[in-house]
């Protein structure tokens, strides 16, 4: 178990240092989420007061849209020069590849969120008054579930020629319960309702995260065998 | 072996045709008309029957996916695929009949209610599953990938149901059983018999379609193998 974790951290470090050198994916993700916010500001007039109601939904829409871009690259970029074969033939447990990729993607998406969510609040002129700690906890657990399932499916979709098109089709139906919980919990925190209502949703998200982390952890081996 | 299989097919077919006529008789002539909803309630028998088969087909996909992961087997792979295709069909029928019924009794085509949304998401998962099966590559590889997705999808369906149940739940009548604070609406004995018979007949139809679908898929594999053989012969 310790080996798997340390190998996973090595792989995540490799991915992240590669990414910070080129800044290709992360740059695209940030710009893309800013553009999504721009498009939404045309769709819903930000000066209108009722727009406050859509902000929790917007947070998750920009996370999923920009996150999917990053997830697409996660395994497809390993196909160049047969890097994936190299990873698989390395003397490590296959699941450490999954964990490493999950860690790297989670870090990337979190970085994008720390830029895009304040930008969203700024452009929609939203004054944050809720509990910051709970808000961060909810955003992190929602994002973690998204990345757990997303990384797994991006490995699966990388086998197809049209993996960029396949990934969202596979991913979004599986994310639906997580997104319901995340949007509801975010709404409760942002409109300053009682935090105790949000705890039920937070529990659902945690259960989803752990269940899918376990399932993906066990099933990842079969994906790597298949490719 | 082949003769037994075709005999089963024939028996299924000859059982299916009369049961469908009996079902139509039971639904439209024998069973009483519902007091509040009137004749529109008749669609209920088809709706519940197809919904049952839609969920059954999904669990069959899950079952064969697990079997396939334990030990890859062409037959299980084909069964899972046939079941998924029939599942898409019956999920579509469930959604459409449900919408028609909903329009008549709730005065809305769609409502965001647990069972409706779960069925819709089930439909999307089925379609995604079929997309994976359409990938190119050896069948062993596709069998592994699609089985993995089938299992994950099966895990997801109950969670979707729970999540949406928490989200909001008001419209669907709970006909059977008495939940907490939601006592069942009850059902006439004639209606119950008709409903059970419709579930039986549609399940029979599912088994029949499943066998036919698997047979067609098997023929496709044979034709593809022969074609490859011929091409290799011509090339060499």
pLDDT grade for B168, boundaries at 50, 70 and 90: low
CB-closest option in A159, A173, A215 to B124: A173
* Residue (of A144, A222, A132) closest to A186 by Cα position: A132
Helix runs in B106-168, H state only: 114-133, 139-167
Asked whether A15 and A106 are in contact (CB, 8 A), the reply is no
CB-closest option in B127, B144, B164 to A180: B164
Q: Tell whether B224 is covered by a domain.
A: yes
Count other C-beta atoms under 10 Å from residue B45's C-beta. 25
Split into its structural domains, chain B has a count of: 1
Alpha-carbon distance of A67 to A178, in angstroms, equals 15
Residues of A in contact with B91 (CB under 8 A): none
Residues of B in contact with A180 (CB under 8 A): 163-164, 167
Residue-level pLDDT at B19: 87
pLDDT tens digits, residue range B98-146?
888 888 877 888 877 777 888 898 899 989 999 998 888 788 888 888 8
CB-closest option in B121, B131, B164 to A166: B131
CB-side exposure of A130: number of CA atoms within 13 Å?
Answer: 22
Residue-level pLDDT at B187: 67
Best residue in A158, A163, A165, A176 to probe B by mutation, most B CBs within 10 Å?
Answer: A176
Give the burial class of B134: count Cβ atoms within 10 A of its Cβ; 0-12 exposed, 13-18 middle, 19 or more buried. Answer: exposed
A218 touches chain B (CB under 8 A): no
Range of the domain at B97: 42-170+187-235
pLDDT along chain A (227 residues), means of 10: 86 90 90 91 77 86 92 86 84 89 94 93 83 90 94 90 88 91 88 78 90 91 76
Alpha-carbon distance of B35 to B55, in angstroms, equals 30
Non-local (6+) Cβ contacts of A30 within 8 A are A66, A112, A115, A116
* Residue (of A212, A173, A175) closest to A220 by Cα position: A212
Whole-model pTM?
A: 0.85
Dihedral of CA atoms B63, B68, B69, B70 in degrees, nearest 10, equals 90
Secondary structure of A172-188 in HEC code, one letter for each residue: HHHHHHHHHHHHHHHHH
pLDDT grade for B1, boundaries at 50, 70 and 90: low
Residues of A in contact with B136 (CB under 8 A): 160-161
Question: Which is it for the CA torsion A91, A93, A94, A97, positive or negative?
Answer: negative
Helix runs in A23-129, H state only: 24-43, 55-76, 83-89, 94-123
Question: Which is it for the CA torsion B59, B158, B167, A207, positive or negative?
Answer: negative
Average pLDDT over residues B30-41: 73
Alpha-carbon distance of B91 to B87, in angstroms, equals 6
Computed over every residue of chain B, the mean pLDDT equals: 83
DSSP summary character for residue B41: G
């Amino acid at each position: 178990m310790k080996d798997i974790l340390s190998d996973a951290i090595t792989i995540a470090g490799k991915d992240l240092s590669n990414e910070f050198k080129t800044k290709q994916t992360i740059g695209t993700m940030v710009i893309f989420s800013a553009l999504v916010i721009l498009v939404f500001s045309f769709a819903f007039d930000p000066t209108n007061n009722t727009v406050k109601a859509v902000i929790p939904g917007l947070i998750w829409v920009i996370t999923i849209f920009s996150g999917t871009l990053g997830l697409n690259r996660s395994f497809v970029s390993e196909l160049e020069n047969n890097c994936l074969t190299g990873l698989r033939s390395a003397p490590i447990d296959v699941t450490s590849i999954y964990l490493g990729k999950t860690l790297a993607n989670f870090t990337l998406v979190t970085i994008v969120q720390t830029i895009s969510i304040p930008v969203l609040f700024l452009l929609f002129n939203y004054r944050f008054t809720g509990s910051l700690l709970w808000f961060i906890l909810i955003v992190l657990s929602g994002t973690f579930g998204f990345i757990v399932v997303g990384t797994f499916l991006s490995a699966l979709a990388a086998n197809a020629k049209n993996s960029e098109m396949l990934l969202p089709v596979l991913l979004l139906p599986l994310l639906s319960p997580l997104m319901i919980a995340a949007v509801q919990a975010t709404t409760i925190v942002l409109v300053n309702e009682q935090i105790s209502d949000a705890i039920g949703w937070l529990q659902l998200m945690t259960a989803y995260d752990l269940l899918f982390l376990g399932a993906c952890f066990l099933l990842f081996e079969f994906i790597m065998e298949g490719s | 072996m082949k003769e037994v299989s075709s005999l089963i097919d024939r028996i299924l077919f000859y059982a299916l045709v009369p049961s469908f006529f009996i079902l139509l008789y039971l639904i439209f002539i024998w069973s009483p008309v519902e007091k509040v909803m009137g004749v529109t309630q008749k669609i209920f028998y088809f709706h519940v029957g197809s919904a049952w088969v839609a969920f059954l087909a999904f669990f069959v996909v899950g079952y064969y996916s697990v079997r396939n992961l334990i030990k890859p087997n062409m037959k299980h792979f084909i069964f899972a695929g046939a079941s998924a295709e029939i599942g898409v069909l019956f999920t579509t029928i469930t959604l459409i009949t449900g919408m028609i019924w909903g329009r008549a009794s709730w005065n809305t085509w769609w409502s965001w209610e647990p069972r409706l949304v779960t069925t819709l998401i089930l439909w999307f998962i089925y379609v995604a599953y079929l997309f994976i099966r359409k990938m190119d590559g050896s069948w062993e590889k596709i069998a592994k990938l699609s089985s993995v997705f089938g299992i994950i999808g099966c895990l997801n369906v109950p969670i979707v149901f729970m999540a949406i149940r928490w989200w909001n739940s008001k419209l669907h009548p709970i006909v059977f059983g008495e939940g907490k604070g939601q006592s069942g609406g009850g059902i006439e004995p004639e209606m119950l018999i008709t409903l059970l018979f419709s579930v039986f007949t549609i399940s029979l139809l599912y088994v029949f379609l499943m066998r036919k679908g698997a047979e067609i898929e098997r023929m496709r594999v044979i034709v593809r193998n022969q074609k490859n053989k011929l091409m290799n012969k011509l090339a060499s």
